[in-house]
Amino acid sequence: MEIILFEYFFQNLKEKNGIEAIDKLISPPLFPITRDMFSNNVSFHSFVPGETLTLGLHYTIETSLFPHPGQNCGYRLNRRDRNILCYISDIENNSDSTLDDVIKFTKNCDHLIIDSSYTKEESKSRKGWGHLNLEDIEKIASRLPSVQIYLYHHDIFKTDLQIEMDSRKLSDKYNNVKLAKQLDVIELS
């Protein structure tokens, strides 16, 4: 099985390309090994958000930039014109178009894995941290009822029980919202 890691040029690194940024992030003391220590079945591909990447004959990955301090890229995996899975981590609803942009990017997708760190009240004191709140997720869930939404990227200082309690109202109201847990498996059809 080939593993492909994608990276893009980080705006705040100005003179460095994406591979140099990855080399800095994947190296001691930040990470125990370097990029050249990865096995031969791992490859790196540079891209600019907004580009579509081709994986073999049947798969593409669409990319899009989303708001977050330092920017963030979302990914949509497609198989032969079918939108299978979207992954959007570290995104902040900081404009009138943010949620519309998320909905447009994930429309007709089977699954969405998305940041859902805080309640609405908690997010008020965390502006600029780069995360969505559960009210944002509710707006997305109501407009994308056929997309299975997995909530993840929770606040590390919350207990599992707190996270479950925070999201219970949302998952009870919307059948398409699920709290992602470690070791969950998403079947891609």
Q: What is the largest CA-CA distance in the chain?
A: 48
**Could you state, in order of their start, the residue ranges of all structural domains in the chain?**
1-47, 50-179
Classified by CATH at the fold level, domain 50-179 comes out as Metallo-beta-lactamase; Chain A (3.60.15)
| Mean pLDDT in residue range 115-142 | 91
pTM of the model: 0.82
| Mean pLDDT in residue range 23-51 | 82
Q: Which residues make Cβ contacts (< 8 Å) with residue 77, sequence separation at least 6?
A: 59, 60, 61, 83, 84, 85, 86, 87, 188
| 39 three-class SS | coil
Element (H, E) at 172: helix 160-173
Note the pLDDT tens digit of each residue in 75-91: 999 998 788 999 998 89
Give phi and psi for 180, each to the nearest 5: -70, 140
